Amino acid sequence: MKGFRFSAVEAAIKKPGRLDLALIFSDLPAKVAAVYTTNKVQAAPVIISRERSENGSCRALLVNSGNANACTGEQGMLDALECGRKTAEALGLPDEELLIASTGVIGQQLPMDRFRKGIQPLVDQLDHGTLEDVATAIMTTDTFAKIERREGEAGGTPYSIWGIAKGAGMIQPNMATMLSFLVTDAAVDGAFLKSAFAEAVDGSYNAITVDGDTSTNDTALVIANGAAANPVIKGGTPEGDAFRALLHDLLLSLAKLIVKDGEGATKFVEIRVKGAATNADAKTAALAVANSLLVKTAFFGQDANWGRIIAAVGYSGASVEQQQVEIRFDDVVMASGGIFAGGDAEAAGTRVLQQKEFKVTIDLKLGSGEAAVYTSDLSYDYVRINADYRT
């Protein structure tokens, strides 16, 4: 990746033995577009970065795991500002050109002595780290690092987009605990970058759920430094359309990895609602099914209980006519006209649910609205992981 450097160190922010403090640095002035949590309770780094990213430019990102620095009051704000200031000074940057992100336990003050010791080694190792190191450093209950790459071309000049993400629990982004950072050496118009990224986030991170929880720290951003020296990519052009498609494809792949790594998950499920009165209705119904604890536990138990699904659709708030609804597990029709398709369907549907990945299609037969949401099942391990999270 041209014009970017990365590093990660072990600062023992929560406990020793793992990378937990990371830095992304652009050698060139860069454009930035960002989307943050819609939770009204927001962590100090979200508040600071939201304000700084409004001007559409940045040079660096400091991120830690192990401590969310959320609900930490004035001291949390002061500590976040100090971490940013010391890092910016070590990089020779104004404070405003550095963004901050955190993930981890809510309500605990940052261990500032460990941050202070970690910042200079972090900067010193910029020539030796990788984006994969950063992806590893931002993990909490994740079981694997999530990283994706896409290649594009503008005006005959090739460029790359790389992205990383973390998240396994507290996942229902409304822009879950979820962080995602993209870097590209493409030269991109700032206004177009902002609109294209927001659209891509809405079709990816806003279309997944593990447990219906939206974090205080959700942050997704893309930094474009133009090091590829391509003609500037703008909206309303073939190059812009191609860049937009690459963004969406990369983010959707990362989003699906988050669901597949959902805490305790044993199933990856696409909930697709079609035939809705509107696209908004389709998404409302899909999210209701995807977040239903009864549905998710049925998936875990491989119980072809389509009744839980139609019940969730009915209470979702979407327009529904019971006698129109059709439900499929992959290609198996479980219900048609709102009525059970019979014992053979039950047996075939159970076989579908025994797979690690499958699709539930709900046809409301009311219009052309359509949406997909990606979710996981709910297992015993989800309870165990979250019961022991702070220990």
How many Å apart are CA 296 and CA 47, to the nearest integer? 34
Is 263 known to sit in a ligand binding site? Answer: yes
CA 258, CA 178: separation in Å to the nearest integer?
9
**Rounded Cα–Cα distance for residues 23 and 144 (Å):** 19
Round to whole Å and give the CA distance between 358 and 363: 16
Burial 197-235 (b: 16+ CB within 10 A, else e): bbebbbbbbbbbbbbbbbbbbbbbbbbbbbbbebebbeb
Residue 10 among known ligand-binding residues: no
Is 386 known as a binding-site position? yes
Distance CA 364, CA 277 (A): 8
Distance separating alpha carbons of residues 200 and 206, to the nearest angstrom = 9
Q: Which one from 177, 184, 219, 375 is the annotated catalytic residue? A: 177
- Asked if 177 and 348 count as a contact pair (C-beta separation under 8 A), the reply is no
**Was 136 annotated as part of a binding site?**
no
**What does the alpha-carbon distance between residue 354 and residue 380 come to, in Å, rounded to a whole number?**
17
Q: 316-337 burial string, b = 16+ CB within 10 Å, else e?
A: bebebeeeebbbbbbebbbbee
Looking at this protein, which amino acid is placed at residue 334? M
Whether 177 has a binding-site annotation, put simply, is yes
Residue 225 is assigned to a ligand binding site: no
Active site residue 177: yes
CA distance 268 to 8: 31
CB atoms within 10 A of CB 156: 7
Beta carbons within 10 angstroms of residue 384's beta carbon? 12
Q: Which residues are catalytic?
A: 177
Binding residues for substrate: 140, 166, 177, 263, 386, 391
Binding residues: 140, 166, 177, 263, 386, 391
